Amino acid sequence: MTTERTATDRETPANAAAARDRVRGLLAASAADLPSAVVNDVLLVTSELVTNALRHGGGLTAFDAALTGDAVVVSVTDTSPHPPRSGGGSVTTPGGFGWPLVQRLSREVGVEPAGPGKTITAVVALGDAPAPPDAD
């Protein structure tokens, strides 16, 4: 039996810390005894998605986190239609590392148009570590 719990019954979090708190509460309410590394991965993905929406996406307009069987699904909607991009960071210009990190820690990542902006959904496995990226 798959039980779904969600963290959508409150208003959109004001910042990454509030989003992490919501996801932390969702995980704590589950019956699963999750390794701290898995919890940290889920919280890091949450933080990166929300921070990117606030910093690069024109603002956070919706947030959803759901526990579904063997994964946590985190969805963030912002006002920018432009997809995330990697890189850009350097010693003098910080940034550019969050999106690759989200992709690496997530089992699946999707970007879908949502009104004038987009929704990014990341699925983070609660069991095994994410598979290594494909070697192209």
- How many domains are contained in the chain? 1
Give the domain extent around 107. Answer: 4-86+95-125
pLDDT digits over 56-95, tens only?
999 999 999 999 989 999 999 999 999 988 766 555 556 6
Asked if residue 136 belongs to a domain, the reply is no
Structure tokens at 62: 């919706």
Determine, yes or no, domain membership for 24: yes
In a domain, 43, yes or no: yes
Length of the chain: 136
Which pLDDT score is estimated for 6? 54
CATH number for the domain harbouring residue 40? 3.30.565.10
- Does residue 117 fall inside a structural domain? yes
- For the record, the structure tokens of 113 come out as 């148009």
This prediction's pTM:
0.83
Pair type for strands 71-78 and 60-68:
antiparallel
Contact criterion met (CB below 8 Å) for 123 and 109: yes
